[in-house]
Structure 1
Amino acid sequence: HEVDRLSAFFDIIHQDPILSQVKLIAEPWDVGEGGYQVGNFPVLWTEWNGMYRDTMRDFWRGEPAVAEFASRFTGSSDLYQHDGRRPFASINFVTAHDGFTLRDLVTYNEKHNAANLEENRDGDNHNRSWNHGVEGETDDPAINERRERQVRNFLATIFLSQGVPMLLGGDELARTQGGNNNGYCQDNEVSWFDWRLDERAERLLAFTKRLIDFRSRHPVFRRADFLRGEETLGSGSPDVWWFRPDGRKMTPENWRGGDTHTLGVFLNGAEIPTVSAQGAPVVDDTFLILFNAFNDAVVFTLPAVSFGHRWLYELSTAEPELEAGAAVYPARGVVPVESRSLVVLRRIA
């Protein structure tokens, strides 16, 4: 049966004096006709954004999805703005309790569910995963480096996106289920946490903490209103502006291009149209984020001086241990971005 959005279930929750005041989070899909309802829950609800998950998986494995990527990265206004909801209606995630862990997402092309005793028929067959050339674990250092970088790409994208980040427990520790993408029935080493962290897990945990701290300090990544691509508060620049690796504005042809894997975004911390709990304007730093989902390194030219005179290095998924402040770039300066990585810069002048 099709989903009834006018069901009494929603009315009862919305009228309940307790339930109507709590955070309401939907996993908005079910089996059967009309079961996929991402973007269609009522106003008080937030939703696991399955379209965000699929788009980010596709973008970072090299699928040409830049327009969809930009929409999901900025809060999915196409899904949540029409009925008055805000960016935080989008619960942004790449992995969840069912499906691959983040480590397995970059390690396996296929599910490996034989241990579930259903002849590998259970679990999703379309995981949008990429094993980087070898199925399963390997001792090849080059492949392992690319896999670890890809994990950092997913984590950084989640924590830099507008909306609410959702992190699957264990992904910050590089937890694996050995390619099992339906481990609900495995109460053993397949699904348990191993708290004896190896060097790989320690590195990833440190980078994840850095991302969480970075997001918590910068409200420009936690906006309560959708970005508009316009200047409304007199800062001299729009709240968001997307650009090509040559530093020029993305054109309609660029957005539609089937071979576009690189783009940058300007996020203006002086164009946040909300106030604090004390009634003061919310003002933040301004950032550039350079995305390269291409196989090779790409040299970005930064935008013109009207967007900023000087830019300070903040973080890179290719060099996770490089400290903020390691480099300064002028307007129209060049910034190398390694293959399948992102770089964050902060405006300082």
Structure 2
Amino acid sequence: AYCQDNETSWYDWERASLHGDILAFCSALIRFRMKHPVFRRPEFYTGRDTDDNQLPDITWFDESGRPPHWASINLTLAALIDGSPAENSAIGDDDFYLMFNASAHSIAFTVPRHPRDLLWHKVIDTSAPLPTDSILNFVSQPLQRQESCTLGARSLVVLLTVRQ
């Protein structure tokens, strides 16, 4: 309804207080996206190593850490995003590992070792209770076990490595 300027798309902001926690989280998520250029690239990801650092700009995985079987119906997906500057850009970012669980139960994801042996830090976990300062400010916490991460039902976890 993005093209409707009528009651179809008008939002009743007086009701926002009923859902203040999700509004605060979405506001924080917008700030997080603005802070990280890897989520605002002007061009599509290609799956190729565009800067000769032996890391494709995006690599897809299943929950076991293997390439996904695209023809199979699966409710899990993960992606490693290289934070190196995009083509025609001088701005770099952290590397990210995104894990998605659309299933109705918790699933343990294999977390691949970072290609440059950097540590993963958890910055977003949508199964965590809202609101907390660490979630709203995206305070990174070192992943307890660097080789796996359990995602709650219907959740998303975002890991990052801080570039040296």
In structure 1, the partner of 2:12 is 193
Greater share of strand residues, 1 or 2?
2
1:318 Cα deviation after fit:
1.5
In structure 2, the partner of 1:302 is 111
Matches within 5 A, 1:58-207: 96=2, 184=8, 193-195=12-14, 197-198=16-17, 200-207=18-25
Unpaired runs of at least 5, structure 2? none
Cα distance in 2 for partners of 1:284, 1:304 equals 18
In structure 1, the partner of 2:53 is 235
In structure 2, the partner of 1:257 is 72
Q: Count the aligned residue pairs.
A: 158
In structure 1, the partner of 2:147 is 333
1:335 Cα deviation after fit:
0.7
Cα distance in 1 for partners of 2:11, 2:35 equals 33
In structure 2, the partner of 1:137 is none
Cα distance in 1 for partners of 2:114, 2:13 equals 49
Residue 290 of structure 1 aligns to a residue whose secondary structure is strand
Encode CA deviations 1:252-285: one digit per residue, 9 max, x unaligned: xx11002x0101011111141122xxxxx12111
Residue 124 of structure 2 aligns to a residue whose secondary structure is strand
Work out which structure has the larger RCO, using CA pairs closer than 8 Å and 6 or more positions apart in sequence.
2
RMSD of aligned residue pairs (Cα, Å) = 2.7
Q: State the TM-score, normalized to the length of structure 1.
A: 0.41
Cα distance in 1 for partners of 2:144, 2:95 equals 15
**Partner residue of 1:291 out of 76, 100, 111:** 100
Query: Measured at CA, do residues 221 and 326 of structure 1 come closer, stay the same or move farther in structure 2, by a change above 3 Å?
Result: closer
Higher Cα radius of gyration: 1
Cα distance in 2 for partners of 1:235, 1:243 equals 19
In structure 2, the partner of 1:136 is none
Runs of 4+ residues over 4 Å off in structure 1? none
Encode CA deviations 1:142-196: one digit per residue, 9 max, x unaligned: xxxxxxxxxxxxxxxxxxxxxxxxxxxxxxxxxxxxxxxx955xxxxxx662426
In structure 1, the partner of 2:121 is 312
1:336 Cα deviation after fit:
1.0
Cα distance in 1 for partners of 2:110, 2:47 equals 21
Q: State the TM-score, normalized to the length of structure 2.
A: 0.82
Aligned 8 A contact 2:108 2:148 in 1: yes
Cα distance in 1 for partners of 2:85, 2:16 equals 42
Q: Matched residues, percent identical?
A: 29
Unpaired runs of at least 5, structure 1? 1-94, 99-181, 185-190, 276-280
Residue 26 of structure 2 aligns to a residue whose secondary structure is helix
